[in-house]
Structures are given as structure tokens and as C-alpha cells.
């Protein structure tokens, strides 16, 4: 058994050097991470999670990627709602990497079991913040050791720093973080406003179709509505994704463009958050 234990990583190491790799793919058709890969992390501002964009190689499945990273398929959809529409080789799958999975070092005879982990600095991020808040380290000594010559003065946005190593045999589910939907977190201010102003109001319940186009502000939660007061909030439940989001009424639905079955016209941000593909989709709403 011990012979095969050392044979596998050696085989992995040789395969990454001798076999052709699909451009930009992470891993290959057999393994989701190879020693030749580099994991570049970023920090999500809303959730605080460390995120990595895994690029699906040919014959890799979304379910396999979720399992490898210790996530359920629903958690992967929560982070990547657009993947509910489908995926192909080359699709980017954003996954969470728990801080505890990033190791500072490994023994010399285990090199084929680990992949280097790096971190891309965000604008305004400091060495202290990266060490203490993002990575949960007691000091910045590890980062200085892994990056000779590193000083706070030399940091710049987009700079990539070495932060440790990750095992290539996957992440255990019980060590994963609790994954929150980034769009739901981003929508939280409107949810808070809804809870504080609408719960005691006499609300109307409407079920029907929502429609969308590519026009509109890409960064705002907005809808067109037939009757709800302008500047009021609408609660939108999309049953397929099992998400409830909130948006502000900014105008009326053009009668000459949409038939009576359409009760909402939603902004592109809502389309991305729900992960819908069809130009019309079913929703349940509450509004004034």
C-alpha cells in the first residue's frame, strides 16, 4: 500500500510535465488539481471568504468540482448562479477555499501532493489586513518569509503574493466555510430596508412572469412595475433558484412592449442573481 501511496503523486507530477494541458484549464480529465497548477485567491468583500476560480477541464463535471472542494452542488450554484444555465469545458467555477486548508509549508518528500497558493491584492488592501483579517495569521512573518523583500511600501493593487500551499487531494466538507450567496449579501441593504418599513404594511401578492432585456443599470436592483408606487420596494421570489431578492420600482412597464402576463421587468443585476436564461420566468411578488 505504501508503494502506491508514493507512486500516485509521482505519476501526477510526471503527467503535468509530459501531457498537453488544455489552455487555462485547472487540472485535467482525471484530477481537479495538479502540482503544475497555481491557485490564485481573492477575498470577497461581503462574505469575507477566500475565493478561487476553477476552470473546468474537458470531462470535468460541476458535481465533481463541487465534491473535490468540499461543497454541495447547491452551494456551487449559490456562488455561481449563472451555471444553472449549463456549463462547458472552460467554464469558470468560483469556489470557496477555507483558510485552514492553506498550509504554510510541507515536507520535502511531499512536493507532488501540493499546489502553490497565491493571493491577488485588492485596491486599498494592506499587508496587515491580509495577514490578520483575510488569512487569520498571527503576524505577517509568514508572508515575508514566502515573499523575500516584501514590505508594506512595495505593495500595489493587483500584486500577487505567495501565501502557502494546498493539497491536491481535495477539501473535506467538514472543513469548508458556510457558503453565502454573494448576490443575496449584496442585496441585504434593501432586505433590511424592507424589513424595517414594509412588514406592517398592507401588501399585495402577485404571481406571474418577469421579463428582462440587456438594457438598464448593471449594478442596481431595479424593476419596472404596473402599479406599485415609484421608488417603493418589491419583494421578488424566484422558485427555481429558491432566492428572494428586493428591488426598487423605477418606472412603469411599457404596455406596447409587454403583454399583461408580465408583472415585472427586471434589471440585468437581478437576472444574474437569479441565474435565469429565459427572457421570461415565473416569480412571486409582494408590493404596495
The model's pLDDT over 15-29, given as tens digits with 9 standing for 90+, comes to: 444 334 444 789 999
Does position 50 have pLDDT exceeding 50, yes or no?
A: yes
**How far is residue 228's CA from residue 107's CA, in Å, rounded to a whole number?**
64
Whether 190 and 250 have beta carbons less than 8 Å apart is answered as no
CA distances from 14 to 25, 35, 159, 168 (A): 17, 10, 30, 15
Residue 160: the pLDDT is 95
Same domain, 228 and 144: no
Whether the full predicted model's pTM is greater than 0.85, yes or no, is no
pLDDT of residue 61: 96
pLDDT at 12 over 80: no
Task: State the Rg of the chain over Cα.
Answer: 23
Asked if 13 and 112 touch (Cβ cutoff 8 Å), the reply is yes
Q: What is the longest distance spanned by two Cα atoms in the chain? A: 73
Enclosing domain of residue 81: 2-179
Q: Give the pLDDT confidence score for residue 47 in this predicted structure.
A: 83
**97-115 b/e with 16+ CB inside 10 Å = b?**
bebebbeeeeeeeeebbbb
Q: How confident is the model at residue 148 (pLDDT cuts 50, 70, 90)?
A: very high
Q: So what's the pLDDT on residue 19?
A: 39
Task: Compute the mean pLDDT over every residue in the chain, rounded to the nearest whole number.
Answer: 88
Distance CA 41, CA 34 (A): 16
Domain containing residue 252: CATH number: 2.40.40.10
Same domain, 249 and 277: yes
Q: How far, CA to CA in Å, does 64 sit from each of 60, 71, 146?
A: 7, 10, 32
Are residues 150 and 215 both part of a single domain?
Answer: no
The pLDDT-based confidence of 81 (bands split at 50, 70, 90) is: confident
Q: What are phi and psi of 234, to 5 degrees?
A: -125, 135
Does one domain contain both 172 and 277?
no
Do 102 and 56 share a structural domain?
A: yes
Residues in the chain: 288
**Cell triple for 89:** 469545458
Last residue of a domain, one of 158, 179, 200: 179
Distance between start and end Cα atoms, the chain: 68
Laid out side by side, the sheet with 160-167 consists of 92-96, 50-55, 39-43, 114-120, 160-167
Q: Are residues 104 and 206 in the same domain?
A: no
- From the number of C-beta atoms within 10 Å of its C-beta (0-12, 13-18, 19+), residue 50 rates as buried
Are 146 and 64 within one domain?
yes
Type and span of the H or E element at 62: helix 62-68
Domain co-membership, 80 together with 142? yes
Q: Are residues 28 and 165 in the same domain?
A: yes
Q: Count of domains in the chain? A: 2
Position 188 confidence tier, pLDDT thresholds 50, 70, 90:
very high
Distance of CA 20 to the CA centre of its chain: 29
d(CA 222, CA 249): 6
CA dist 169 to 17, 35, 76, 166, 276, Å?
18, 11, 19, 9, 33
Model confidence band, residue 115 (pLDDT cutoffs 50, 70, 90): very high
Phi/psi of residue 110, each to 5°? -115, 20
User: How far from 109 is each of 16, 114, 145, CA to CA, in Å?
Assistant: 18, 11, 21
Amino acid at each position: 500500500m505504501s508503494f502506491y501511496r508514493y507512486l500516485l503523486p509521482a505519476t501526477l507530477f510526471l503527467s503535468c510535465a509530459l501531457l498537453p494541458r488544455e489552455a487555462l484549464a485547472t487540472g485535467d480529465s482525471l484530477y481537479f488539481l495538479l502540482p503544475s497548477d497555481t491557485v490564485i485567491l481573492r477575498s470577497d468583500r461581503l462574505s469575507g471568504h477566500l475565493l478561487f476560480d476553477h476552470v473546468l477541464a474537458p470531462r470535468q463535471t460541476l458535481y465533481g468540482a463541487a465534491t473535490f472542494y468540499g461543497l454541495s452542488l447547491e452551494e456551487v450554484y449559490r456562488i455561481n448562479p449563472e451555471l444553472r444555465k449549463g456549463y462547458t469545458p472552460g467554464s469558470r467555477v468560483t469556489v470557496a477555499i477555507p483558510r485552514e486548508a492553506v498550509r504554510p509549508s510541507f515536507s520535502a518528500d511531499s512536493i507532488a501532493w501540493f499546489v502553490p497558493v497565491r493571493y491577488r491584492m485588492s485596491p486599498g488592501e494592506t499587508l496587515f489586513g491580509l495577514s490578520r483579517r483575510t488569512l487569520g495569521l498571527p503576524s505577517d512573518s509568514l508572508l515575508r518569509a514566502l515573499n523575500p523583500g516584501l514590505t508594506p511600501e512595495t505593495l500595489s493593487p493587483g500584486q500577487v503574493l505567495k501565501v502557502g500551499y494546498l493539497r491536491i487531494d481535495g477539501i473535506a466538507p467538514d472543513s469548508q466555510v458556510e457558503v453565502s450567496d454573494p448576490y443575496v449579501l449584496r442585496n441585504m441593504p434593501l432586505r433590511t430596508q424592507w424589513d424595517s418599513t414594509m412588514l406592517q404594511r398592507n401588501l399585495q401578492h402577485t404571481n406571474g412572469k418577469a421579463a428582462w432585456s440587456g438594457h438598464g443599470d448593471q449594478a442596481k436592483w431595479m424593476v419596472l412595475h404596473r402599479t406599485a408606487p415609484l421608488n417603493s420596494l418589491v419583494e421578488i421570489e424566484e422558485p427555481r433558484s429558491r432566492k428572494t431578492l428586493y428591488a426598487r420600482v423605477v418606472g412603469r412597464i411599457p404596455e406596447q412592449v409587454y403583454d399583461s402576463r408580465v408583472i415585472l421587468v427586471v434589471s440585468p443585476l437581478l437576472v444574474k442573481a437569479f441565474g435565469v436564461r429565459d427572457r421570461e420566468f415565473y416569480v412571486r411578488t409582494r408590493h404596495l
